[in-house]
Chain A
Amino acid sequence: MAEGKKTVKKGHSTHDELSRHEFSAAIDRAVAEIVSQQPSGDFQARLRSRIAEEPAARPSFWRLPHPAQAAFHHWAAATAVLAIAILGVAMHSTRSHNNARAIVTVQPPAGPQPAMNTREVFALSQPPTVKHRGKSRPIVVAPVTHEPEVLVSKYELNAVLDLYEQRSATTIDTTRLSFTNLHATADISIPLIKIEPLVVPELFQPTGKS
């Protein structure tokens, strides 16, 4: 009895499935009928007349056959690569020139041995920055109106960086960051050496004896 019920139920379910499937197919057919129509007889003629009214002139380049277009693309790519190479060389030479300018020698204003005190300094085109607590903070350098670059020795620079890393929690005293005292305050003068004639001591006067 139960088996019979089950069969009936299964049969009903299969019928239902079949019905669903048929229904889905009917929907597909309906959609196909909606879109499967032909345009009217004069559709092509109207389209052709509209195309004929279009200005025919595309740029002549676009009417080139494919090989010619490919050749043009190759030429354009080669030109672009060449231009990039030239630009790279130019930028590199400019950078080298700037690096060469960055290392200068400064003589101290006065002193008995100026050549011994000659120091190597670095020109900074931008103020140095101190990294602290995840933020970069620029060190404010006193404005130097007569000189486009600020000159400091690398030892002084490190000392300043250390100083402001330690003191960054406090207010920055900008006057301490003025390095303008590196500029010569007076011309270097080298005194002339006076050469005296040789004086022969009397002790060695010639006696006349050989």
Chain B
Amino acid sequence: MNAPDIVIAGRVLSRDDSFDKEFEQRLGECPTLAFRVALGVLRNRADAEDVAQDAMLRAYRNFHQLRDKDRFRAWLVRTTWRLALDRIRTSSRRDKWEFAAAAETPGGAGVENVAATREFHRHVGDALDTLPEKLRLVMILAAIEGHTTAEIAALTELPEGTVKSRLFNARKHLSEKLEWLRAKRP
């Protein structure tokens, strides 16, 4: 016996259509988030894309449990994070720092400035790697798309107070780690 179809926005959809339509919506919004989370850990575009794709595939397989939008994003962030950490642990290759810092520096900057900025970013990235995982995750999420504390709390399923405290500790840790760079900063 066939169950009745579902009507969305005046259009009759079969059950499969509804399922695919919802996933299509997520597919438009979320892969970049997954890519950026992975990039925060791996800092290698190709690896980050692979990990983001793996995470999205897993999301597709488990989409029946993840139809709620907020739940989907939180799940995707956690899964991507774990996959990226697994990737970096299993891979001996750590060829990071291929991103084009030079292209993002303000126009008119000299070659020296570009090199200094790139160097600064490299040190920041290395310091980021030394952060404990729980601090690193909130730091990266705060850097992605300017997420607010509340948004990070929703993504990590942590209380807002915890997120604030972790962000504070992460920034403090990074500042202390890079204190020697402060005088040299371009």
Given the interface pairs A36-B36, A36-B143, A47-B56, the reply to whether A24 lies near B175 with Cβ below 8 Å is: yes
| Interface size in chain B (residues, C-beta < 8 A) | 47
Stretch at the interface among A38-46, A77-85, A90-98: A38-46
User: In the complex, what distance in Å separates the CA atom of A34 from the CA atom of B36?
Assistant: 9
- Asked if A19 is at the interface (CB within 8 A of a chain B CB), the reply is yes
Q: Give, as a whole number of angstroms, the nearest-CB distance from A54 to chain B.
A: 6
- Asked if B16 is at the interface (CB within 8 A of a chain A CB), the reply is yes
A-B contacts, 18 listed (Cβ < 8 Å):
A23-B175, A30-B124, A31-B40, A32-B143, A33-B101, A33-B121, A34-B40, A34-B121, A34-B125, A36-B143, A37-B35, A37-B99, A47-B27, A47-B53, A56-B16, A62-B64, A64-B3, A68-B3
Residues of B within 8 A of A142 (CB): none
Residues of B within 8 A of A65 (CB): 3, 6, 15, 18
Chief secondary structure at chain B's binding surface: helix
- Return the CB mask of B26-52 against A: 1 if under 8 Å, else 0: 010001100111011001010011001
Chief secondary structure at chain A's binding surface: helix
- Asked if A27 is at the interface (CB within 8 A of a chain B CB), the reply is yes
Count A-B pairs with CB separation below 8 Å: 113
In the complex, the chain A residue whose C-beta lies closest to that of B57 is A50
- Asked if B83 is at the interface (CB within 8 A of a chain A CB), the reply is no
Contact B124 A50 (CB under 8 A): no
Q: Give, as a whole number of angstroms, the nearest-CB distance from B179 to chain A.
A: 8
Point out the residue from A38, A46, A47, A63 that lies within 8 Å of B15, measured CB to CB. Answer: A63
User: In the complex, what distance in Å separates the CA atom of A43 from the CA atom of B61?
Assistant: 19
Given the interface pairs A24-B171, A27-B124, the reply to whether A35 lies near B61 with Cβ below 8 Å is: no
Residues of B within 8 A of A50 (CB): 53, 57
In the complex, the chain A residue whose C-beta lies closest to that of B127 is A27
Q: Give, as a whole number of angstroms, the nearest-CB distance from B104 to chain A.
A: 6
- Asked if B182 is at the interface (CB within 8 A of a chain A CB), the reply is yes
